[in-house]
Amino acid sequence: MRTARLFLFVLALAAALSCFGPGHLKRYFDFQTGPIPEEAGGPALAKSLYIGRVDVADVWNDFRIIYRRSATELNYYPNEFWAGKPDRLLRETIFHYLQGRKIFAAVSQEEGRETADWVLRCRVHRLEEFDLANVWGARLAMDMTVVEGKTGQVIERREFDRTLPLARKSVSELPVVLSRILIEELEALVLSLRGKGLTSAAKTAK
């Protein structure tokens, strides 16, 4: 009897200790910009840009990282989390990238005394990992709109819904690929804005 009780005690103790083992440690992830190429010869866009609030749909604006295995079922990783809520992480990533890129005359995310020439408004519709049998992917669906700071007139709008495969089946690959999508789309937005900003700058010079 004592042997049986001792055996059960050891099993219970082992189960309890396993909950604190390496497999159950919490991990936190952030977005990344990687090396930021600076604009040669000074700002190409003679406009100041304010990075407005990034609106993220409620389901995805969570510390928990979402993954799905079908079009209708959402799941949360139990021990893997975003380092902050996605709305804040994305806004900071956008700000640091565009500021480091030196395309604009100035980039800010703090309210100032003067209204910026342009305001970037973003809304995220999907931010998740999509797990298929043969490959895992990162999905980011979002729209980015640049408006006049004073009038609110739309200068440029870009909307996308992209899924790219992860290098391997690991949640640690998710922020890497999501960041890649975000940076590529920011570059496409900047490319669309270049002509408009330069035209405006040329008129001002005259």
Q: Where are the domains of the chain?
A: 30-205
pLDDT for 165 equals 98
pLDDT for 34 beyond 60: yes
174-205 and 86-101 are packed helices; what angle lies between their axes, rounded to 10 degrees? 50
Ramachandran quadrant class, 102 (left: phi over 0; alpha: psi -120 to 50; beta: rest): left
What is the structure's pLDDT at 196?
A: 72
Report the b/e string of 95-133 with b at 16+ CB within 10 A: bbbbbebbbbbebebeeeeeebbbbbbbbbbbbbbbbee
Listed range (27-31, 68-72, 135-139, 144-148) with the worst mean pLDDT: 68-72
Q: Summarize the confidence of residues 187-192 as an average pLDDT.
A: 94
What is the model's pLDDT at position 179? 97
Look at residue 23 and tell me whether its pLDDT is greater than 90.
Answer: no
Q: What is the pLDDT of residue 115?
A: 84
Confidence of residue 194 (pLDDT cuts 50, 70, 90): confident
| pLDDT higher than threshold 80 for residue 13 | no
Quickly state the pLDDT bin for 33 (edges 50, 70, 90).
confident
DSSP 193: H
66-87 residue pLDDT tens: 999 998 999 999 999 999 999 9
Residue 201 has pLDDT above 60, yes or no: no
pLDDT at residue 204, rounded to an integer:
45
**Token pair for residue 159?**
């909307």
CA dist 143 and 112 (Å) reads 25
Q: How confident is the model at residue 119 (pLDDT cuts 50, 70, 90)?
A: very high
* Rounded distance between C-alpha atoms, residue 206 and residue 200, angstroms: 10
Report pLDDT for 111: 74
What's the CATH class of domain 30-205?
A: alpha beta
Tell whether pTM > 0.85. Answer: no
Rounded to whole angstroms, the Cα distance separating 70 from 160 reads 21
88: enclosing H helix or E strand: helix 86-101
